[in-house]
Amino acid sequence: MAGRFWAKHVIRKLFLEDWGLKLIALAITLGLWFGVTGLSTPTTKRFTIPLNLSISSNAQIVNSPLQEVEIEVSGDKRKVEQINRTDLTASLDLTDVAPGDRVFLLSPESVSVALPQGVKLVEVAPSRIAINLEAVEEKNLEVKTETTGQPASGYEVYDSSVLPPSVRVRGPASIVRTLEYVLTEKIDLRNKKEEFTAKQVPVMSPNPKAAVLNTFVDVVFNIGEKRLERQFSLPVSGSSNKTATFTIYGPRTLLSRSRADSFKVELADDGTPQVTVPNELQGIVEVRKLTLK
């Protein structure tokens, strides 16, 4: 009898008493359940992200393939919504691919994207990409000097030399084989009056697909007074009836002070006339247009 009374009491407590509290508890429980199940519901989202192509060090891409792809991911809604597009990169591994024109499929199986656990890659667009891979070559190329501006009035560049005179470049074989030289960055010559050295000047390839391996050079400029020509005539030493007429090319001030008798013309053993210039002009002037009468 006591057992039946107790059972009735428990049933009454469960179903007939404290309805307000029980409804509140039920509402909270249902809210939590819907919240959790709603967040864990699978969802999809699309992103446009960079495409990174990994290739062998002995090959180079010579065409201009697309640099972005659109991907679709699927997974837990909460995790998908937390993905930051700027943290994503699509990678395609081509390190074992031989040189040549190729078309590659872009799919969840061939493209790698670092995604949170529980989120998977389901689509990549476009679905294919054309790539021209070419074998890489290296060779040495002459360095040519690029300049801007002019030396000071009355002065000129006699010559210039590059140290080292050549550098090594590396790039696709079809491009490297066509290159004949590389260029320095432009060097300013404005108002220069004397020899100077431009140090650590950057060197650039005419074709950006060929990389310069030695990227800096020094360039020495020999600058002096503008040169002109001046003609001289004098008797040939050791000959009583021959006169030599010759032109000297050199700095204006030095030539204006020079006299014909400071030079000497002699005949070599084979009869060829030779001009000897004064010591102070040696290495500075050039003999031109030598004739005998």
Cβ atoms 211, 186 nearer than 8 A: no
Q: Domain range for residue 61?
A: 42-126
Q: 132 — phi, psi (to 5°)?
A: -110, 105
Which among 225, 246, 272 is the end of a domain? Answer: 225
What span, in angstroms and rounded, lies between the C-alpha atoms of 48 and 144? Answer: 44
Which among 191, 225, 259 is the end of a domain? Answer: 225
> Is residue 33 assigned to a domain?
no
What is the residue-wise DSSP string for 46-67? EEEEEEEEEE-TTEEE-S---S
Least confident of 165-174, 208-217, 265-274: 265-274
Largest separation between any pair of C-alpha atoms in the chain: 165
Percent residues over pLDDT 90 in the chain: 67
95 pLDDT higher than 60: yes
129 pLDDT higher than 90: yes
pLDDT of residue 105: 94
Q: Are residues 141 and 80 in the same domain?
A: no
Which among 225, 256, 280 is the end of a domain? Answer: 225
Question: Averaged over 115-142, what is the pLDDT?
Answer: 94
Structure tokens at 179: 């290159």
Q: Which residue has the higher pLDDT, 256 or 169?
A: 169
pTM for the whole structure: 0.64
Structure tokens at 292: 């005998």
What is the residue-wise DSSP string for 225-253? EPEEEEEEEEEPTT-SS-EEEEEEEEEHH
Q: What dihedral angle (degrees, nearest 10) is formed by the CA atoms of 183, 150, 224, 143?
A: 0
Q: Are residues 165 and 220 in the same domain?
A: yes
> Is residue 256 assigned to a domain?
yes
Q: Which amino acid, one-letter code, is at 222?
A: N
